[in-house]
Amino acid sequence: MLIGFGIMLILGFSQQSGPTGLETRFGNFGTVLFNEASIATNTGSANSALTGMSPNAVIGLFLGMFVQAIPGADGLGMMMMIVFVILTLFLVGLMVGKTPEFMSMKINPRDVKIAAFVFLIHPMIILIPAVVAYTTDNAQTVVSGVSSPMTFTQVLYEYTSAAANNGSDYLGTSANTAFWNWSTAWVMILGRYPPIGLMLAIAGSFTTRDRKEVVEPIKTSGPLFVGVLSVMVFILTVLTFFPFLVMGPFSL
């Protein structure tokens, strides 16, 4: 979690933000630090206009909301990280040909399927509504018909923020229409309750198992596991969202 948050800060500080849209009392450093920390913890409060943030800082904000576990919201960030741990152990088990283990308990196919579904819910409720917004011309309406990387970033951010239950906003009052209010409301509901229910199902399944001392494919402690887990979280996130980041903030 700390490694991921550190990457967010490095992205944010690697490029100067503002001066337009920033609170003059805070400047670049204070603004980026506050916004990155706030949005990474799913608080969503901001001390500047997001349009004043540099492209790299915006990419950092997206990274925090895509992963939702660096560190993520209270409790939920840890649950999302456990989902990434289960997926990582499953993939490592496939590489070495052993049944994945977590805390001396076997991970069964049902756990992996639930974890994969939890992971896939997030991109589905971001990307599908974004496509619907464009195909129904609702996206073009709120950005005054202008098609550019900035307007695409604004639309993508709107649903990413809703899916991450974040509260930060890029479109402002221009999105106060029936379509945007209803679509983001449903995205918030689907982004919060189904994942929590599925995570509780995983937790419930582990409570019924015996813990036995076995040789794990990879020990879930120490720098090796931290490195493997960090790489897997990065790869899964990049494979899912990178094309859309290229169309948006990478092209700003």
Residue position matching structure tokens 């399944």: 205
Alpha carbon distance 40, 65 (integer Å) = 6
The pLDDT confidence band at residue 146, using thresholds 50, 70 and 90, is confident
Instruction: Judge whether residue 218 has pLDDT over 90.
Output: no
Written in H, E and C, the secondary structure of the chain is: CHHHHHHHHHHHHCCCCCCCCECCCCHHHHHHHHHHHHHHCCCCCCCECHHHCCHHHHHHHHHHHHHCCCCCCCCHHHHHHHHHHHHHHHHHHHHHCCCCEECCEECCHHHHHHHHHHHHHHHHHHHHHHHHHHHCCHHHHHCCCCCCHHHHHHHHHHHHHHHCCCCCCCCHHHHCCHHHHHHHHHHHHHHHHHHHHHHHHHHHHHHCCCCCCCCCCCCCCHHHHHHHHHHHHHHHHHHHHHHHHHHCHHHC
Q: What is the mean pLDDT of the chain?
A: 91
**Residue 24: pLDDT over 90:** no
Output the pLDDT for position 145. 83
Q: Is the model's pLDDT at 213 over the cut of 80?
A: no
Cα–Cα dist 156/129, whole Å = 9
Mean pLDDT score, 52-79: 93
Q: What is the pLDDT of residues 186-203, one digit of tens each?
A: 999 999 999 999 999 999
Task: Render pLDDT for 116-142 as a digit per residue (tens, 0 to 9).
Answer: 999 999 999 999 999 999 999 999 999
Higher pLDDT among residues 126 and 147, named by residue: 126
Determine the Cα–Cα distance for residues 245 and 241; give it in Å rounded to an integer: 6
Domain ranges (residues) in the chain: 2-251
pLDDT at 20 over 90: no
pLDDT of residue 64: 95
If you average pLDDT over residues 104-110, what whole number do you get? 89
The C-alpha atoms of residue 185 and residue 165 are separated, in whole angstroms, by: 10
Q: What is the DSSP letter of 222?
A: H
pTM for this predicted structure:
0.93
